[in-house]
Amino acid sequence: MKLPRLVIAGTHSGVGKTTVTLALLAALKARGRRVQPFKVGPDFIDPGHHAAVTGRLSRNLDGWMLGSEVCRQVFLRAAADADVSIIEGVMGLFDGSSPVSESGSTAELAKLLHAPVLLVIDGSAMARSAAAMVSGYARFDPDLRVVGVLFNKVGGAGHYHLLKEAVEVTTDLAVVGYLPADPSFTIEDRHLGLITALEQPTEALSHRLARVIAETVDVDRVESLARSAPPLEAEDTRTEPQPSGPAVRVGVAYDPAFCFYYPENLELLEREGASVIRFSPLHDQRLPDVELLYLGGGYPELHAETLARNHRMRTAIREFALRGGPVYAECGGMMYLMEAIRDFAGQAHDMVGLFPGEAVMQRSGLVMGYRELEVTTPCVLGSPGLRARGHEFHYSCLKNHPSLDYACTVTDAQGRRKGQDGLLRGNVLALYTHLHFASQPQVARSLLVCARGRQAVKKEA
């Protein structure tokens, strides 16, 4: 299957991979191309901006969380009807879950998909040194196809020509162009990363980037590099599950406070027989008529005052849970279920109150990393022994609680124990870990089994 594709990789974090990716997505879409975006790694925020530019859901590809075969399946399904796929890398090209292997890295993913790599370099403070850098990255792994270079944060056309000549004299890589240094190209960020696409519309920025890149980048050459990818064949061995019971209405919290969801999580629920109904804990006054609640991650700490003022929604969620309604919450969703969120200023805001204690924001003490979760106590995820993979990324911690019951243990990418996770109360499970359901499809099935059990109880009543 001929699937034009190109990985946008950086020498390190902060070089402008997202800016370059958005610029290329916008430029290709302006040419009438159906552009399918992807993101290497577990990030939620960049894919939201990709989707805002292209109008297509951006998919995460992660070798550690999903494994090679699931990554290929995710790619093949999403790219099948696209003219070109653009895959934004994570961190530096060779950075991943281990300092001595390619696991979880952009390089691993590029080799898995036999995708050529366009290397993004921050050219702001170099000239001939760029050639040494490019040579090192291009030759570090002979099984990786680094085919081109795009410079970011360049001082102007004169500076770019110095960089271009230095690289072309010493390598055979295509130097496709540059983006000028311009602070307006940067999306504002905060403690967990960029401002989300729900909060800062990407449309104006993407139009501006498309105009600039048309003047400073050889987009024809970029497309040619993407078309140089060899055919990619893989048998999709997944079988479509058959729903094992009646349809289940799943209420999914979705607004600027709760917007971190992998598309596959919702799609797996739908394939198991779920009907996804979005609602807003920020603005809606009542819950939709549902049998299961899914509260994803996001930024509840930034919207804590508004969440606290919405007494009706907080009460509705608490009463739903106390009646036995199954609730699955991740990170920000878990924080919302505590008695309070204490923000960065030290102000406490009342939340749902299903679990004792507070989620306290702290400017230091970032918790970040891959996680493998194992169920140790029966819960909405399934029976003891079930394992699933995901990641943690938060600045909060739980404090002022007399005791908490946990349903799971977690280890990191190296198999080291990282303690317990999964606050448990009846049919409520609240994790700090963001799970990717494709790492363990039984999760979606178990959630709906629990919801169907609740349906039966309601009918008998």
In angstroms and rounded to an integer, the radius of gyration of the C-alpha atoms of the chain is 23
Same domain, yes or no: 340 and 256: yes
Residues 253 and 223 in one domain: no
Residues 272 and 402 in one domain: yes
Are 324 and 400 part of one and the same domain? yes
Per-residue pLDDT tens for 260-273? 999 999 999 999 99
Residue 393 lies in a domain: yes
What domain count does the chain have? 2
Among the listed residues 362, 360, 370, the one whose alpha carbon sits nearest the alpha carbon of residue 391: 370
Among all residues, which ones are annotated catalytic? 331
Q: What values do phi and psi take at 143, rounded to 5?
A: -85, -5
CATH of the domain at 81: 3.40.50.300
SS3 169: helix
| Cα–Cα distance for residue pair 248/269, rounded to 1 Å | 9
Query: Is the domain of 195 the same as that of 325?
Result: no
Alpha carbon 142 to its chain's center:
29
135-149, 199-213, 351-365, 421-435: which has the minimum mean pLDDT? 199-213
59 and 156: one domain?
A: yes
104 and 34: one domain?
A: yes
What pLDDT does 236 receive?
A: 55
pLDDT above 70 for 232: yes
- pLDDT category at 319 given cuts 50, 70, 90 is very high
Do residue 219 and residue 364 come from a single domain?
A: no
Per the domain annotation, does 237 fall within a domain?
A: no
Query: Is 232 a member of any domain?
Result: no
pTM check: above 0.85? yes
Q: What is the pLDDT of residue 402?
A: 85
Contacts of 411 (CB under 8 A, 6+ apart): 371, 372, 374, 417, 418
Tell whether 288 and 406 lie within a shared domain: yes
Token reading at 149: 């270079």
pLDDT for 246: 86
pLDDT value for 159: 96
Which of the listed residues 176, 197, 227 is the one where a domain comes to its end? Answer: 227
Beta bridge partners of 276: 250
Q: What pLDDT sits at residue 94?
A: 96
Read off the pLDDT of each residue in 156-161 and give the average, rounded to a whole number: 95
Give the number of other CB atoms < 10 A from CB of residue 417: 9
162, 192, 227: which is the final residue of a domain? 227
Query: Domain check: are 325 and 402 in the same one?
Result: yes
Q: Is the pLDDT of residue 241 over 70?
A: no
Residue 14: inside a domain, yes or no? yes
* Residue 240 belongs to a domain: no
Cα angle vertex 85, ends 84, 87, to 5°?
Answer: 155
How many Å apart are CA 443 and CA 268, to the nearest integer?
Answer: 9
Quick one: pLDDT at residue 188? 65
DSSP line for 335-370: HHHEEEEE-TTS-EEE---SEEEEEEE-SS--EEEE
pLDDT value of position 400: 87
Residue 148 lies in a domain: yes
For residue 15, what are its two tokens? 């070089």
CATH number of the domain at 337, please: 3.40.50.880
- The stretch 342-366 carries a mean pLDDT of 95
Q: What is the extent of the structural domain holding 91? A: 5-227
- Strand 297-298 to 258-260 pairing: antiparallel
Q: Which of 227, 256, 288 is the last residue of a domain?
A: 227
More confident residue, 206 or 376: 376
Are residues 428 and 312 located together in one domain of the fold?
A: yes
Report the pLDDT value the prediction gives residue 396, as an integer from 0 to 100.
95
Which residues contact residue 92 at a Cβ distance below 8 angstroms, ignoring those fewer than 6 apart?
9, 10, 11, 12, 13, 106
pLDDT band with cut points at 50, 70 and 90 for residue 321: very high
| Residue scoring higher pLDDT (192 or 28) | 28
pLDDT of residue 459: 62
Answer whether residue 183 is part of any domain: yes
Answer yes or no: do 13 and 114 share one domain: yes
pLDDT in tens, 65-120: 999 999 999 999 999 999 999 999 999 999 988 888 898 899 999 999 999 999 99
Whether residue 239 is contained in a domain is answered as no
Percent of the chain with pLDDT over 90: 83
Pairing of strands 387-394, 396-399: unpaired
Residue 184 has pLDDT above 70, yes or no: no
What confidence tier does 51 reach under pLDDT thresholds 50, 70, 90? very high
**Mean pLDDT over each residue of the chain, to the nearest integer:** 93
